[in-house]
Structure 1
Amino acid sequence: MKEDYLKMIFELGGVSGKVSNKQLSLSLDIAAASVTEMINKLVEERLVSHTPYAGISLTKSGRKAAEELVRKHRLWECFLFDKLDYTLATVHQEAEQLEHSSSDQMIDKLDAYLGHPEHCPHGGAIPDPAGNYEVGSRTTLAQVNDGAKIRLSRFVDNHDLLEYLESLNFVVGQEFTVNSHAPFEGPISLTAAEAGNDIDVSFKAANNIFIDEL
């Protein structure tokens, strides 16, 4: 669905950043050819712009549509996670269904009921009714150098990724030291600041984990 593409471009690139076909293919787990086909459709609808060899970004109308979708989706994730005890890995699919059947009035009431949360359970910013939100980090774990001290700030909203991170006991806010990047897109070795244990994170996952350098 085109809505999934708009949300993922927003997640990966924000309001002005450019993302590649490869990033979308990895994060959505969709074949590169299918990504190219959908991006061409979104360009025709003037929801995204695509500069060859530079990347894909949201247009003004695409950004507005993405922000509205993300607001609905992430508020439902907060409700499912905080009130119904869904796990981080299971909120996405339920929220995906709920966002498409929710009016703006319902979402505003849900927002008030939840106390106007600013972030969803996996760290994504939630736009307020006026479209304001905190612009988070755009630096991924895969991009930082060996020896860097980092804090996990956000995970891309992907079921398989969140399930994988749950198996590693990763939560937003944890701090680590980056030990090494294995060659040929191998795993990235981390040491947990609090527990002191070493953890290997796959290269694919590391491209979908956003961090703040400390």
Structure 2
Amino acid sequence: MNNLTPKKEDYLKIIFELGGKQRKVSNKQISLSLNVAAGSVTEMVTKLVSEGLVIHTPYAGISLTADGIEVAENLIRRHRLWETFLVDKLNYKLQDVHDDAEVLEHATSDNLVKHLDDFLGHPKNCPHGGMIPSIDGDYAEESYDLLADAETGSTKVVDRFVDNHELLTYLGEIKLNIGDKFTVVEHVPFEGPIKVKLVDTGKEVSISYNAAHYIFVN
């Protein structure tokens, strides 16, 4: 696929991250995750449909085709290996890593990716919890259960975050981390925050309604 621009690649990656391999993702989710206008999403999705990379079902949402999944997996592998390198080896803060990983990913040959993977010891997950496909395309399926949908009283573990700068900055501020175990205390009505209690410390944390749609839990 040589007609893939970096922008198209970003859309394929975010649709994959939001679960578009297995289910329908809404225009609104894509627009919020990429910080772009809803009209731009519609326009880009139309292009990706015409290229056979996504399927758009009116009123249901957007999912990836087999070709779209293959392209997205390859992009995700490159991006997340660079994120791992930048955080683990160059001490980047998690919320600052995305833009540089993005630039590096587009300029990386297959040979360089292989050497990077070897150098890092074949990591299975990136710093924000996303899986990294192996060179053969193998990976464990990710959780697509959203914190927003977790029932009051249930106990969950933070599995991963969508790779979005504002979200990661916000989560750094409220100190919510991958692997944190918590009990859902309350869903405040009218799109209010979700209150959770961390199991280890007993601390209560309020998580905004929007952010809860980009935090995946087990």
Assess if the C-alpha contact under 8 Å between 1:20 and 1:56 holds in 2: yes
**Letter paired with 2:201:** A
- The whole-number CA distance in structure 2 between the counterparts of 1:132 and 1:17 is 20
Alignment of 1:151-166 (within 5 A): 151-166=157-172
Aligned-partner SS, 1:113? helix
2:142 to 109, 121, 136: 136
Alpha carbons of structure 1 residues 14 and 125: separation in structure 2 relative to 1, 3 Å:
farther
What secondary structure does 1:132 align onto? coil
Aligned with 2:35 (options 23, 29, 45): 29
The one-letter amino acid of 2:84's match is: C
Structure 1: where are the runs of 5+ without partners?
none
Q: Which residue number in structure 2 is paired with residue 176 of structure 1?
A: 182
Residues 14, 135 of structure 1: 8 Å contact kept: no
Aligned partner (choices 101, 118, 131) of residue 112 of structure 1? 118
When the two structures are aligned, how many residues end up with a matched partner?
A: 212
Q: Distance in 1 between matches of 2:195 and 2:32?
A: 21
SS, match of residue 77 in structure 2? helix
Which position in structure 2 is the counterpart of 1:63? 69
Counterpart residue number, 2:200:
194
Q: Is the Cα–Cα contact under 8 Å of residues 179 and 190 in structure 1 kept in the other structure?
A: yes
Q: Is the 8 A contact 1:155 1:210 kept in 2?
A: yes
User: Helix, strand or coil: the match of 1:89?
Assistant: helix
* Cα distance in structure 1, aligned partners of 2:105 and 2:204: 38
Identity of aligned residues (%): 55
Instruction: Tell me, yes or no, if structure 1 residue 93 matches structure 2 residue 99.
Output: yes
Q: Report the alpha carbon displacement of residue 151 of structure 1 after superposing the two structures with TM.
A: 0.2
Q: After superposition, what is the alpha-carbon deviation per residue over 1:181-200, rounded to whole angstroms, capped at 9, x for unaligned?
A: 11111110011111111110
In structure 2, the residue corresponding to 1:206 is in which secondary structure?
Answer: helix
Partner Cα distance (1:37, 1:15) in 2: 21
Residue 136 of structure 1 aligns to a residue whose secondary structure is coil
Residue in 2 aligned with 1:17?
Answer: 23
Aligned equivalents of 1:107, 1:184: Cα separation in 2: 46
**C-alpha contact (below 8 Å) 2:20/2:62 kept by paired residues:** no
What residue in structure 2 maps to residue 145 of structure 1?
151
CA–CA distance in 2 between the matches of 1:111 and 1:45? Answer: 30
Whole-angstrom distance in 1 between the partners of 2:99 and 2:51: 26
Give how far 1:132 is off.
1.0
Task: Give the partner amino acid of 2:147.
Answer: L
SS in 2 for 1:13: coil
Per-residue deviation at 1:34?
A: 1.0
Is 1:124–2:130 an aligned residue pair? yes
TM-score, normalization: structure 2? Answer: 0.95
Mind listing any 5+ residue stretches in structure 2 that lack a counterpart? 1-6
| 2:86 aligned residue (68, 77, 80) | 80
1:7 Cα offset (Å): 0.3
Runs (4+) off by over 2 Å = none
